[in-house]
Amino acid sequence: MNLLSIATMNKIAIVALDVVANAEEESSLLSPDQMAHYAVTAIFTIINVLIAYVILKLVLFKPLMKVIKKRKEAIGAQITNAEEREKSAGEKLDEAVRRVDASHEEAMQIIADARSQAEKQSETIIEAARREAQEIRDRAEEDAKRTRKAMLEEMKDEVADLAVSIAGHVVGTCNASTTQEEIREKVEAELKSAEVKTGD
Protein backbone atom coordinates (compact mmCIF):
# COMPACT_ATOMS: atom_id res chain seq x y z
CA MET A 1 0.00 0.00 0.00
CA ASN A 2 0.98 3.55 -0.61
CA LEU A 3 1.51 5.78 2.41
CA LEU A 4 -0.51 8.53 0.74
CA SER A 5 -3.57 6.34 0.32
CA ILE A 6 -3.23 5.23 3.95
CA ALA A 7 -3.23 8.85 5.11
CA THR A 8 -6.29 9.56 2.91
CA MET A 9 -8.09 6.60 4.42
CA ASN A 10 -7.30 7.89 7.89
CA LYS A 11 -8.85 11.27 7.06
CA ILE A 12 -11.96 9.58 5.68
CA ALA A 13 -12.20 7.48 8.83
CA ILE A 14 -11.92 10.57 11.04
CA VAL A 15 -14.65 12.39 9.06
CA ALA A 16 -16.89 9.33 9.29
CA LEU A 17 -16.33 9.16 13.04
CA ASP A 18 -17.25 12.82 13.38
CA VAL A 19 -20.44 12.23 11.40
CA VAL A 20 -21.36 9.29 13.59
CA ALA A 21 -20.51 11.27 16.74
CA ASN A 22 -22.74 14.11 15.65
CA ALA A 23 -25.60 11.69 15.18
CA GLU A 24 -28.30 11.36 17.68
CA GLU A 25 -26.74 11.21 21.15
CA GLU A 26 -29.60 9.53 22.88
CA SER A 27 -29.45 6.36 20.90
CA SER A 28 -29.31 3.14 22.81
CA LEU A 29 -26.34 0.81 22.97
CA LEU A 30 -27.84 -1.66 20.51
CA SER A 31 -29.49 0.82 18.20
CA PRO A 32 -28.68 0.66 14.49
CA ASP A 33 -26.77 3.92 14.71
CA GLN A 34 -24.71 2.64 17.63
CA MET A 35 -24.07 -0.66 15.82
CA ALA A 36 -22.93 1.28 12.77
CA HIS A 37 -20.68 3.29 15.01
CA TYR A 38 -19.21 0.03 16.43
CA ALA A 39 -18.72 -1.35 12.92
CA VAL A 40 -17.01 1.78 11.69
CA THR A 41 -14.80 1.85 14.80
CA ALA A 42 -13.92 -1.81 14.28
CA ILE A 43 -13.12 -1.20 10.61
CA PHE A 44 -10.95 1.80 11.41
CA THR A 45 -9.24 -0.14 14.22
CA ILE A 46 -8.47 -2.99 11.80
CA ILE A 47 -7.24 -0.49 9.21
CA ASN A 48 -5.06 1.23 11.84
CA VAL A 49 -3.67 -2.13 12.99
CA LEU A 50 -2.88 -3.07 9.38
CA ILE A 51 -1.25 0.32 8.78
CA ALA A 52 0.75 -0.04 12.00
CA TYR A 53 1.76 -3.58 10.94
CA VAL A 54 2.90 -2.35 7.52
CA ILE A 55 4.82 0.55 9.04
CA LEU A 56 6.39 -1.67 11.69
CA LYS A 57 7.25 -4.27 9.06
CA LEU A 58 8.91 -1.68 6.85
CA VAL A 59 10.59 0.29 9.58
CA LEU A 60 11.28 -2.28 12.30
CA PHE A 61 10.79 -5.89 11.23
CA LYS A 62 12.79 -5.86 7.97
CA PRO A 63 15.89 -4.20 9.49
CA LEU A 64 15.51 -6.37 12.58
CA MET A 65 15.25 -9.50 10.45
CA LYS A 66 18.30 -8.36 8.46
CA VAL A 67 20.24 -7.88 11.72
CA ILE A 68 19.05 -11.27 12.99
CA LYS A 69 19.99 -12.91 9.67
CA LYS A 70 23.44 -11.27 9.68
CA ARG A 71 23.92 -12.29 13.30
CA LYS A 72 22.82 -15.83 12.49
CA GLU A 73 25.26 -15.95 9.55
CA ALA A 74 28.05 -14.53 11.74
CA ILE A 75 27.35 -17.14 14.45
CA GLY A 76 27.26 -19.88 11.77
CA ALA A 77 30.59 -18.61 10.39
CA GLN A 78 32.06 -18.57 13.91
CA ILE A 79 30.83 -22.11 14.54
CA THR A 80 32.28 -23.27 11.20
CA ASN A 81 35.54 -21.48 11.98
CA ALA A 82 35.65 -23.02 15.45
CA GLU A 83 35.01 -26.50 13.99
CA GLU A 84 37.79 -25.97 11.44
CA ARG A 85 40.13 -24.80 14.19
CA GLU A 86 39.20 -27.78 16.33
CA LYS A 87 39.82 -30.11 13.40
CA SER A 88 43.15 -28.41 12.67
CA ALA A 89 44.11 -28.61 16.36
CA GLY A 90 43.19 -32.31 16.39
CA GLU A 91 45.34 -32.92 13.31
CA LYS A 92 48.22 -30.99 14.87
CA LEU A 93 47.83 -32.97 18.08
CA ASP A 94 47.87 -36.24 16.14
CA GLU A 95 50.96 -35.06 14.24
CA ALA A 96 52.66 -34.08 17.51
CA VAL A 97 51.83 -37.47 19.03
CA ARG A 98 53.23 -39.21 15.93
CA ARG A 99 56.39 -37.10 16.14
CA VAL A 100 56.81 -37.85 19.85
CA ASP A 101 56.34 -41.57 19.17
CA ALA A 102 58.81 -41.42 16.27
CA SER A 103 61.38 -39.52 18.36
CA HIS A 104 60.89 -42.02 21.20
CA GLU A 105 61.49 -44.91 18.82
CA GLU A 106 64.49 -43.10 17.34
CA ALA A 107 65.90 -42.49 20.84
CA MET A 108 65.43 -46.16 21.70
CA GLN A 109 67.17 -47.13 18.45
CA ILE A 110 70.05 -44.73 19.20
CA ILE A 111 70.38 -46.20 22.72
CA ALA A 112 70.32 -49.74 21.30
CA ASP A 113 72.93 -48.80 18.66
CA ALA A 114 75.12 -47.12 21.30
CA ARG A 115 74.83 -50.17 23.57
CA SER A 116 75.69 -52.50 20.69
CA GLN A 117 78.62 -50.32 19.65
CA ALA A 118 79.85 -50.15 23.26
CA GLU A 119 79.65 -53.95 23.52
CA LYS A 120 81.58 -54.31 20.25
CA GLN A 121 84.20 -51.83 21.45
CA SER A 122 84.52 -53.59 24.78
CA GLU A 123 84.90 -56.95 23.01
CA THR A 124 87.51 -55.40 20.71
CA ILE A 125 89.39 -53.92 23.68
CA ILE A 126 89.20 -57.21 25.61
CA GLU A 127 90.39 -59.16 22.55
CA ALA A 128 93.26 -56.69 22.02
CA ALA A 129 94.18 -56.99 25.71
CA ARG A 130 94.10 -60.79 25.46
CA ARG A 131 96.30 -60.72 22.38
CA GLU A 132 98.70 -58.32 24.03
CA ALA A 133 98.79 -60.44 27.21
CA GLN A 134 99.40 -63.57 25.10
CA GLU A 135 102.22 -61.79 23.25
CA ILE A 136 103.74 -60.67 26.56
CA ARG A 137 103.40 -64.23 27.90
CA ASP A 138 104.96 -65.67 24.73
CA ARG A 139 107.84 -63.16 24.88
CA ALA A 140 108.35 -63.92 28.57
CA GLU A 141 108.41 -67.67 27.84
CA GLU A 142 110.87 -67.12 24.99
CA ASP A 143 113.01 -64.90 27.23
CA ALA A 144 112.85 -67.57 29.97
CA LYS A 145 113.81 -70.27 27.47
CA ARG A 146 116.74 -68.19 26.18
CA THR A 147 117.84 -67.36 29.70
CA ARG A 148 117.55 -71.02 30.72
CA LYS A 149 119.45 -72.11 27.64
CA ALA A 150 122.14 -69.52 28.30
CA MET A 151 122.37 -70.62 31.93
CA LEU A 152 122.58 -74.28 30.87
CA GLU A 153 125.33 -73.41 28.40
CA GLU A 154 127.12 -71.47 31.10
CA MET A 155 126.66 -74.34 33.57
CA LYS A 156 127.95 -76.81 30.99
CA ASP A 157 131.00 -74.64 30.49
CA GLU A 158 131.51 -74.40 34.25
CA VAL A 159 130.97 -78.17 34.67
CA ALA A 160 133.40 -78.86 31.84
CA ASP A 161 135.94 -76.50 33.37
CA LEU A 162 135.35 -78.10 36.76
CA ALA A 163 135.66 -81.61 35.30
CA VAL A 164 138.87 -80.68 33.53
CA SER A 165 140.18 -79.06 36.68
CA ILE A 166 139.26 -82.10 38.80
CA ALA A 167 140.67 -84.51 36.25
CA GLY A 168 143.88 -82.53 36.13
CA HIS A 169 144.07 -82.38 39.86
CA VAL A 170 143.35 -86.10 40.22
CA VAL A 171 145.77 -87.05 37.49
CA GLY A 172 148.41 -84.83 39.04
CA THR A 173 148.07 -86.49 42.41
CA CYS A 174 147.86 -90.01 41.08
CA ASN A 175 150.81 -92.12 40.23
CA ALA A 176 151.17 -95.34 38.31
CA SER A 177 150.50 -97.50 41.34
CA THR A 178 147.14 -95.85 42.20
CA THR A 179 144.20 -98.12 41.61
CA GLN A 180 141.04 -97.25 39.83
CA GLU A 181 139.14 -97.36 43.16
CA GLU A 182 141.40 -94.75 44.66
CA ILE A 183 141.04 -92.53 41.61
CA ARG A 184 137.22 -92.76 41.92
CA GLU A 185 137.35 -91.80 45.59
CA LYS A 186 139.59 -88.81 44.84
CA VAL A 187 137.22 -87.67 42.05
CA GLU A 188 134.19 -87.92 44.40
CA ALA A 189 136.04 -85.98 47.08
CA GLU A 190 136.99 -83.28 44.56
CA LEU A 191 133.38 -83.09 43.33
CA LYS A 192 132.09 -82.65 46.90
CA SER A 193 134.59 -79.91 47.61
CA ALA A 194 133.63 -78.24 44.29
CA GLU A 195 129.92 -78.47 45.18
CA VAL A 196 130.61 -76.85 48.55
CA LYS A 197 132.52 -74.02 46.83
CA THR A 198 129.78 -73.42 44.22
CA GLY A 199 127.10 -73.69 46.93
CA ASP A 200 128.78 -70.93 48.94
The Cα-based distances of 79 to 35, 74, 84, 89 in angstroms read 59, 9, 9, 15
Residue ranges of domains in the chain: 156-199
Q: Cα torsion for 124, 129, 132, 137, to the nearest 10°?
A: -140
Q: Enter the DSSP assignment of 171.
A: H
Q: Cα torsion for 117, 123, 129, 130, to the nearest 10°?
A: -160
Strand ranges for 6-109 from DSSP E: none
Mind listing the pLDDT tens digit of every residue in the chain (200 residues)? 455 566 677 777 777 667 656 654 444 567 777 788 888 999 999 999 999 888 888 888 888 888 889 999 999 999 999 999 999 888 998 898 999 888 888 888 999 888 888 888 888 888 888 888 888 888 888 888 888 888 877 777 777 666 667 666 666 665 555 666 666 676 677 666 665 555 55
Does this model's pTM top 0.85? no
